[in-house]
Chain A
Amino acid sequence: MDIQLKKSGIGVKEKKSSHLLYSIKQNLFAYAMLIPAFVAMLCIHFIPMMQGIYISFLNLNMMTMTKFLGAPFIGLRNYYEVLFNPDSLIRTGFWYALRNTGIYTFIVTFSTFALGIILAMLVNREFRGRGIVRTALLMPWVVPSYVVGIVWGFLWRQDSGMINIILHDWLHILSEKPYWLLGRNQIWAIIIPTIWRGLPLSMILMLAGLQSISPDYYEAADIDGANGWQKFWNITLPLLKPILAINVMFSLVSNIYSYNIVAMMFGNGAGIPGDWGDLLMTNIQRNSFQLWQFGPGAAALMIVMFFVLGIVALWYAFFKDDLVVK
């Protein structure tokens, strides 16, 4: 009995492996088509990534740069330097950048999608000039993000910036002109332009989602006497959730790695430690390529990647039921 079972087990295994070989042979064409993409990803994504992980354990800086991967191995010292060393400027900068990026990512992602849904619902009605309004609302998306950084950097200026002129001189909302590009306000100076540019995309996605909802649901709700809010919470939002799920994730990740707008707005002065205008990517870029501290830079990147991994896991737990497995 026992032997028989074993035998049959082996038999199955053999059959499976030959089947595997067979289906590989059958699909040689598909593998050939994948080769260029695989080589590209191997050379530019995966090999550098492995090197990056290794560099995070090396004492690699301007002095040892010529040795590259032969630089002295120092174990977890870089991680200590970035996370805990109280005397290290890199540590202070990193923690502030982490705080800023957290606030920035949360507010930007949340507001972009909340406003995107509102805007999509406003645009989804019947009214004259709908095409023109939609096109006008798409315009910010077309502006390259580095241009967004320059233009808003100009708009935010204290004395002659347009925003202060409008808020103080014209509308009298503010009693004095605040410094947007200094201190605590910096974070708003980078959050608002990012939302401004991200809103059109989220509007389009939400609009596509809204239009895929059958009007029957709303008619049924009307018959049952549901009001606008109830319809929104019980029909619109649950049915938008699958689209929201995947795009919230992309938005979270891309905002954590946000670079262009901040770099352009604050130029090379971005991110003195303690600065509210410094994000993780500007911080790490400066440590790695201006201070030539590659080791701590790679360690910081590893830490950021673990954070992102954690966020992805959280996201997955939250939206698990809405993801359609294809």
Chain B
Amino acid sequence: MAKTGYFESMKRKKKMKNTLSNILLAIMVVLSLGPIVFMVMTSLMDHNAIATGKWIVPNRFSNYVEVFEKLPFGIYFRNSLIVCSCVMIVALVIATLAGYALARYKFPGSGFFGILILSTQMLPGMMFLLPLYLDFVKIKEATGIQLTNSIPGLVIIYSAFYVPFSIWIIRGFFASIPGELEEAARIDGCNKFSAFIKVMLPLAVPGIIATAIYIFLMAWDELLFAWVLLKDANVLTIPVGIRAFIAYTTARYDLLMAAGSVVTVPVLIMFFTMQKKFISGMTAGAVKG
């Protein structure tokens, strides 16, 4: 008798705990989604209503049109796409080669190179930006090649800047592929490079895609370098464009929220189509340490 009472109280306790957990989870979901929903809703509201904090029916799609008219948002969008795609390709190629070499071979200096890679992650980006900015100004004076205030300059910096971290992720993927596959290909008459291209590379595609998305997202979100290096409206990327809009005009939150919604959408699509692969890629590296 006493025993069943004990189990019943345990059961009740467990049920209460479960309900409490659900309530907590529901609160967290609301807090997570709240600001995003708010952003999208405000982007559809009238400017004057927002300024006074009134709530009206969100039905003004004209804000989205106005964003592209008031700001040269189309140009910013194009610039950002060009920069991010170029950076993604360049950094990925460099990082794949290096990541493979580090994962597959143990050679004098491989440990040192690994430490070099990690050490770059501990340094502030400003530490490179400050001298690089002056270097670029000097290069312009000496050779006439325009690297400040130009998209190629930004692509060069970003590409090199994201290489170490990308190597770190890709190396993990290559390390998880059994090396015997490469040896088998070598026996079948491939040289080292063609064994890499024909056998190892196709196997690492999921990891490479995850890394590519990661690079793209980092470049899409980069403000500091772009803010310092770019000045003219026709070369600005989205973050700088929006920041300049805030800095030099009166706050039009309806337009800002519309712009925010527009830039979040490509990232959202990219993320949720690849969610599983991306997350497994991120966590694989993390769990392995």
Question: Measured between alpha carbons, how far is A312 from B243 in the docked complex, in Å?
Answer: 33
Let me know if A243 and B289 touch, CB within 8 A. yes
Q: Does chain A have a CB within 8 A of B190?
A: no
Of A29, A125, A243, A250, the residue contacting B193 (CB under 8 A) is A29
Closest to B17 in A: A228
> Can you show 22 pairs from A to B with CB atoms below 8 A apart?
A33-B100, A37-B97, A38-B98, A40-B94, A45-B164, A48-B127, A55-B134, A122-B28, A125-B21, A137-B29, A138-B271, A140-B35, A142-B264, A144-B264, A208-B286, A208-B287, A212-B287, A243-B289, A246-B286, A267-B247, A285-B126, A288-B130
Of A24, A44, A204, the residue contacting B128 (CB under 8 A) is A44
Question: Measured between alpha carbons, how far is A247 from B279 in the docked complex, in Å?
Answer: 15
Residues of B within 8 A of A250 (CB): 121
Q: Does chain A have a CB within 8 A of B206?
A: no
Let me know if A20 and B32 touch, CB within 8 A. no
Interface residues of B (CB under 8 A from A): 18, 21-22, 24-25, 28-29, 31-33, 35-36, 38-39, 42, 50-53, 93-95, 97-98, 100-102, 104-105, 107-108, 110, 113, 116-117, 120-128, 130-135, 137-138, 156-157, 159-161, 163-164, 167, 192-193, 220-221, 223-224, 227-228, 239, 242-243, 246-247, 253, 256-257, 260, 263-264, 267-268, 271-272, 275, 279, 282-283, 286-289
Q: Known A142-B268, A298-B130; judge A122-B25 contact (CB<8 A).
A: yes
* Interfacial residues of chain A within 107-131, with CB under 8 A of chain B in the complex: 118-119, 122-123, 125, 127
Closest to A20 in B: B108
Of B21, B128, B157, the residue contacting A122 (CB under 8 A) is B21
Closest to A264 in B: B243
Interface residues of A (CB under 8 A from B): 20, 23-24, 26-27, 29-31, 33-34, 36-38, 40-41, 43-45, 48-49, 51-52, 55, 65, 68, 118-119, 122-123, 125, 127, 133, 135-140, 142-148, 150-152, 154-155, 159-162, 165, 196, 199-201, 204-205, 207-209, 212, 242-243, 245-247, 250, 253, 256-257, 259-260, 263-264, 267-268, 281, 284-285, 288-289, 294, 297-298, 301, 304-305, 308-309, 312, 323-324, 326
Let me know if B125 and A257 touch, CB within 8 A. yes
Of B105, B132, B160, B223, the residue contacting A41 (CB under 8 A) is B160
Let me know if B289 and A324 touch, CB within 8 A. yes
Let me know if B264 and A45 touch, CB within 8 A. no
Q: Known A40-B159, A137-B32; judge A301-B116 contact (CB<8 A).
A: no
Of B22, B29, B120, B130, the residue contacting A52 (CB under 8 A) is B130
Other 15 A-B pairs with CB < 8 A, given A44-B161, A45-B160, A285-B224: A24-B107, A30-B110, A48-B128, A65-B134, A65-B137, A123-B25, A143-B36, A150-B242, A155-B35, A155-B38, A162-B38, A268-B247, A298-B131, A309-B122, A312-B122
> Lowest 10 CB-CB distances: which A-B pairs, in order?
A160-B53, A44-B160, A37-B98, A27-B107, A208-B283, A33-B101, A51-B131, A40-B160, A30-B105, A48-B131
Residues of A within 8 A of B100 (CB): 33
Of B167, B228, B260, the residue contacting A150 (CB under 8 A) is B260
Interface-centre pick from A119, A122, A146, A298 (highest chain B CB count, 10 A)? A146
Let me know if A34 and B97 touch, CB within 8 A. yes
Q: Known A49-B123, A123-B25, A151-B260; judge A31-B130 contact (CB<8 A).
A: no
Let me know if B130 and A297 touch, CB within 8 A. yes
Question: Measured between alpha carbons, how far is A136 from B36 in the docked complex, in Å?
Answer: 11
Q: How far is the CB of A83 from chain B (nearest CB, A)?
A: 17
Question: Measured between alpha carbons, how far is A285 from B25 in the docked complex, in Å?
Answer: 39
Residues of B within 8 A of A34 (CB): 97-98, 101-102, 113
Question: Measured between alpha carbons, how far is A199 from B257 in the docked complex, in Å?
Answer: 22
Let me know if A196 and B160 touch, CB within 8 A. no
Residues of B within 8 A of A285 (CB): 126, 224, 227-228
Q: How far is the CB of A159 from chain B (nearest CB, A)?
A: 7
Interface-centre pick from B42, B124, B138, B282 (highest chain A CB count, 10 A)? B124
Residues of B within 8 A of A263 (CB): 223-224, 227, 243
Of A49, A212, A268, the residue contacting B127 (CB under 8 A) is A49
Question: Measured between alpha carbons, how far is A312 from B123 in the docked complex, in Å?
Answer: 11
